[in-house]
Amino acid sequence: MNILMVLALVFAALEALALWKYWHRLEYIAKPAVMVVLFIWLLTSVGMNGALIWFGLGILFSLLGDVLLMISLDRMFLPGLVAFLLAHVAYVIGFNIPLPLFSAWSLIFAFMVGLGGTRIIRRIVDSLASSGNVRMRTPILIYSLVISLMLLSAMMKLTDITWSANASALVSLGALLFYLSDIVLAWNKFVAPIQYGRIYNIGLYHLGQITLIAGVIMQFS
């Protein structure tokens, strides 16, 4: 296991501990450190060219989103949402260079992602409407569409003959964990509080990012 991957996991664990114990100073160090380490790991392992540029940008936009939401989860929620939206767009582009061939699996994966997320996203959007927070409905819908596309793009690697089985499994799992982390965050914020919701959100998010980037590095090494 790469030392930088271990370091990212250590910082992720420290971030979860900081949230649990309300150690804000540790949180301000550990949270951005995870993405900084992932960027260094990507850069030093496989460089930064072609599709890898987009994965690097995805990490940097995620880091920006982390910092914005760390400043204030309420006041900076929309700017943070935009930063993570751009991160997902970057990952989508990275996964689709070169453009994958369309197959029956494309429809199957699209159906799976749509079926899994539609009811949850609808529940979140309905809660926004009932609470009078109508202005957030469109941003949340756009974000939900893009993150679903990111998950679908990662899952498509499972049937891409140019990707190894292990690498495609890692990026698919990472994208799924990232997707679930956003669901937890939105549900906890807009629908109903979840006990230890922030810890679950951050845990899924960091494990998702680390697993996704590990898969990318494995594929391009």
- Which of the 8 DSSP states describes residue 98? S
Query: pLDDT-based confidence at 102, cuts 50/70/90?
Result: low
Average pLDDT, the chain: 91
Output the pLDDT for position 128: 84
Pairwise CA distance, residues 47 & 53, whole Å? 9
Query: pLDDT-based confidence at 8, cuts 50/70/90?
Result: very high
The type of residue at 198 is R
Residues 6 or more apart whose Cβ sits within 8 Å of residue 221: 45, 46
Percent of the chain at pLDDT > 90 equals 71
Domain count, the chain: 1
- pLDDT tens digit sequence for 21-65: 999 999 999 999 999 999 999 999 999 999 999 999 999 999 999
Query: pLDDT-based confidence at 9, cuts 50/70/90?
Result: very high
Query: pLDDT-based confidence at 103, cuts 50/70/90?
Result: low
**Predicted model pTM:** 0.93
Output the pLDDT for position 28: 94
Query: pLDDT-based confidence at 115, cuts 50/70/90?
Result: low
Query: pLDDT-based confidence at 74, cuts 50/70/90?
Result: confident
Output the pLDDT for position 201: 96
Pairwise CA distance, residues 30 & 34, whole Å? 6
- pLDDT tens digit sequence for 130-140: 887 878 889 99
Checking if the pLDDT of 99 tops 80, the result is no
CB 163 within 8 A of CB 100: no
Output the pLDDT for position 31: 96
Query: The domain containing residue 80 runs over which residues?
Result: 3-220
